[in-house]
Chains A and B, each alone.
Chain A
């Protein structure tokens, strides 16, 4: 599903973000990526969603060599992966319903199908009665659930969650975690979650990849207790 072989990334400004990354993540896995600020987590995500290209090595996602994609093909490639961000990134001038349906309009899905899909994911995330609200009228936890609904609406094979609980209080964070687990179970979506939140990592134990200074320093197959200073 995701396969990185000898991936290096050096930015134009001379910063070495990633060294010799080798990772293989299978269909249906739920993986945490943890590490301190500046450890290369964000770069890793950017390589996966096509925002950056590796300096060396290959990044393959759903069988596509992401580093070799032409610019014009990147938008179409992105339809294979759903992304959820710490700051939700919802369109402020669109309603909840429109925010979710936008991701489906983009792929020219049939209107009726869009309506059914959007209702289905709104049910899944528990926001069935907030369709006509604007993002500004929702709490942080609700906004993140809209973002997740949008990310999974077109049933992507991979869901990347970049600090999805970063702006939320612990109660909300647990809710979001259960939602992600539900999606992982129900659809078999591969989930990559970047997080700082050791409480979650230690509570909902899963495979955990630890990055430090651009290196993978640990890949804990079954997860487990990770020190809080990591």
Chain B
């Protein structure tokens, strides 16, 4: 019984070794395509991260008119802003807090002290910090907030931030689509390579059938072979991801261009990406041999 279970595995390993050159060419096809896919995967996930980061940064600050600083008025303003479509969060910050934040934003003590005399006659406004669900709606929502009674001024990240977000979105979409197209291309390339190697073994399959082997008996070692080829083909891409991304991260110090574009920290990110790539390799190897072998297992009679 155990022997019956291990036979395909043993035979699969044997097949890979004894058809060395064919295994090599199939595994190479897998390697090339997986490397391309992993580059795109890393690219799009990072761009996605930039966008998310940027979206968190952009929030709308709403200053309350001095005449509307009463608690009930501010409750009303908060409610009205909260009811605007696309607003996800409204947080209140008192003028005292604002003053403290302002002072804290200076690093040296001297400057900090220089501002102290103004604490009494606090020139700051009470403020609301508004977060939006979608960065591209920032401008629209800001203009709606301006119409709320008691709002003194509305500030937001500015149109450049908005443009950046929409540009990154486009890049992410384009990257994702390209990755998808490449993956489809990759699967067909791999399937063709495996098909070729199995075509060369069509005679072998015919012989197996003529000695009375059932389809499952013939197929199982080929499936193991396909999986092994997928694993072999994933070795280099996984190494590229693991060492390459860590290297990139250390080289750049974790940022690209400016502090705004923070790279995803390599641990545990590289494990996930490597895992996904290995999984793709295994699935592609398995499916590739499954479809190719099945073609020769149809009974002609």
Contacts and interface: CB of A to CB of B under 8 A. Distances in A.
B212 A52 contact: no
Interface in B10-55: 14-15, 18-19
Interface stretch (B182-190, B200-208, B248-256, B257-265): B200-208
Contact of A79 (B3, B15, B207, B212): B212
A53 B300 CA distance: 11
Q: Report the interface size class on chain B.
A: 20 to 34
Contact of B214 (A76, A111, A150): A76
Nearest to A69: B301
Contacts of A92: 204
B211 interface: yes
B105 interface: no
Given A93-B15, A108-B4, A111-B3, A50 B301 contact: yes
Contacts of B106: none
Interface in A8-35: none
Contact of A52 (B18, B203, B210, B301): B301
A49 interface: yes
Contacts of A78: 209-212
Interface in A83-115: 83, 89-93, 102-103, 105-108, 111
Contacts of A150: 211
B144 interface: no
A102 B208 contact: yes
A74 B204 contact: no
B207 A107 contact: no
A51 interface: yes
Interface in B265-301: 299-301
Contacts of B299: 71, 74
Contacts of A71: 299, 301
Contact of B300 (A51, A93, A111): A51
A75 interface: yes
B7 interface: yes
Contacts of A51: 300-301
B213 interface: yes
Given A51-B301, A90-B207, A75 B19 contact: no
Nearest to B209: A75
Interface in A36-87: 49-53, 71, 74-79, 83
B150 to A, nearest CB: 81
Contacts of A108: 4
Contacts of B207: 89-91
Contacts of B300: 51
Contacts of A75: 209, 212-215
Contact of B212 (A76, A89, A91, A93): A76
Nearest to A87: B203
Contacts of A90: 207
B217 interface: yes
Given A50-B301, A51-B300, A91 B210 contact: no
Given A51-B300, A71-B299, A74-B301, A93 B204 contact: yes
B198 to A, nearest CB: 13
A75 to B, nearest CB: 5
B211 A103 contact: yes
Nearest to B213: A106
A93 B19 contact: yes
A165 to B, nearest CB: 19
A92 B19 CA distance: 10
B211 A53 contact: no
Contacts of A53: 301
B263 to A, nearest CB: 47
Interface in B78-106: none
Nearest to B206: A89
Interface of B: 3-4, 7, 14-15, 18-19, 203-204, 206-215, 217, 299-301
25 contacts: A49-B210, A51-B300, A53-B301, A71-B299, A71-B301, A75-B215, A76-B214, A77-B212, A89-B206, A89-B207, A89-B210, A91-B204, A91-B208, A93-B15, A93-B19, A93-B204, A102-B208, A102-B211, A105-B7, A106-B213, A106-B214, A106-B217, A107-B212, A111-B3, A150-B211
Given A71-B301, A90-B207, A106-B208, 19 more contacts: A51-B301, A74-B299, A74-B301, A75-B212, A75-B214, A75-B215, A77-B212, A78-B211, A78-B212, A89-B206, A92-B204, A93-B15, A93-B204, A103-B211, A106-B211, A106-B217, A108-B4, A111-B3, A150-B211
